[in-house]
Amino acid sequence: MISLCLPATLDSLDELGKYIMAATTEAGLDTKPAYGLRLAVDEIATNIITHGYEEAERAGDIAVSSELTDSSLTIVLEDTGIPFDPLSRTLPGEEELNMPLEERDIGGLGIFLVLKGVDNFSYEFSEGKNRNIFVMNRSGRG
Amino acid sequence: MAFDAQLAMTNSVAKITLIGSLDASSAPRFKEVIEEAAVQSPTKLVLIMNNLDFLASAGLRVLIFAKQKMGAAVDIYVVGSQGPVLGTLEMSGFHHSVYIQETYVDA
């Protein structure tokens, strides 16, 4: 599949979602894992746009690419916003998840959903670029 | 799919019908409708989600905002949510704080 370069604005999330859905269809993923991947990519892209670019008063792009093999579908988001490792974020624990909404902290849910939605997630920073890498296995998921 | 949120107030019940994709790009619109509902001091918030096909954490945060804005005494009902959207609500523990129903009959 061809890669795509989108402006780092929230308006690009829709186009990004369409790209991911096309990739999951091509990979033959079932509805649930396909949705999990779309959600994970949407969450990370939102973080990149809001924290990596807008809050840092930077303008730029997000590049998305995909690689399909017999065993997996890999999606890579690449950006030049401020370096941020999503895995450094503290995730909500069981106690937090069970708390009444009126007492809950609003942070950390996005990364939690990323890790729940994909088979493997990794982050690297090299040559001035953030790379967020999402991997879905093509079999063995329901 | 484009997002839409429509508010209807009936007998102090705020019913909001959500359609399409609710993520960071559309959450501000949802938040506006929640604020519009909150000023009318509803006793109950009903969210019709049959046609909501995508829900990201930005949308979940608006639900937390709704509960905090309207107060703990205002119960939230999520109606018609299914598939992965319902899965996200449950995975995030929201089913402990909202009433999840398949259908809703106007009072």
Residue A60 lies in a domain: yes
Residue A39 lies in a domain: yes
**Mean pLDDT, to the nearest integer, of B15-43?**
97
Cα–Cα distance measured from residue A119 to residue B7, given in angstroms and rounded to the nearest whole number: 38
Helix axes A109-117, A31-47, angle to 10 degrees: 140
Domain of residue A89 covers 4-137
Predicted confidence (pLDDT) per residue in A24-49, tens digit: 999 999 999 999 999 999 999 999 99
Residue A42 lies in a domain: yes
pLDDT at A106: 66
Q: Hey, what are B3's tokens?
A: 């997002």
Contacts of A49 in chain B (CB under 8 A): 24
> Token pair 């909150």 is at which residue?
B38
Top-confidence residue, A1 or A41: A41
What pLDDT band is residue B1 in, cutting at 50, 70 and 90? low
pLDDT at A89: 81
User: Closest Cα to residue B49, out of B13, B76, B72, B12?
Assistant: B76
Domain B4-101 has CATH 3.30.750.24: yes
Instruction: Judge whether residue A142 has pLDDT over 60.
Output: no
What pLDDT band is residue A141 in, cutting at 50, 70 and 90? very low
Strand runs labelled E in A13-92: 61-68, 72-79
For chain A, how many structural domains are there in total? 1
- Cβ atoms < 10 Å from Cβ of A36: 26
Please give the ipTM for the structure prediction. Answer: 0.92
Strands A129-137 and A120-126: antiparallel
> Token pair 């119960």 is at which residue?
B75
Residue of A nearest to B66 (CA): A102
Positive or negative, the CA dihedral A135, A138, B1, B4 is negative
Cα–Cα distance measured from residue B29 to residue A13, given in angstroms and rounded to the nearest whole number: 15
- Cβ atoms < 10 Å from Cβ of B80: 19
Contact B83 A100 (CB under 8 A): no
B100 forms bridges with which residues in the sheet? Answer: B78
Asked whether the beta carbons of B53 and B20 are under 8 A apart, the reply is yes
Residue A111 lies in a domain: yes
Top-confidence residue, B105 or A65: A65
Contacts of B64 in chain A (CB under 8 A): 101-102, 104, 106
Tell me the CATH number at A121: 3.30.565.10
Predicted confidence (pLDDT) per residue in B31-70, tens digit: 999 999 999 999 999 999 999 999 999 999 999 999 999 9
Q: Spell out the domain ranges in chain B.
A: 4-101
Cα–Cα distance measured from residue A86 to residue A21, given in angstroms and rounded to the nearest whole number: 23
Residue A142 lies in a domain: no
Out of B21, B65, B96, closest to residue A17 by CB: B21
Three-class SS string for B7-24? EEEECCEEEEEEEEEECC
Q: Hey, what are A61's tokens?
A: 């792009």
Contact A109 B57 (CB under 8 A): yes
Predicted confidence (pLDDT) per residue in A111-125, tens digit: 999 999 999 999 999
Cβ within 8 Å of residue B90, ≥6 positions away: none
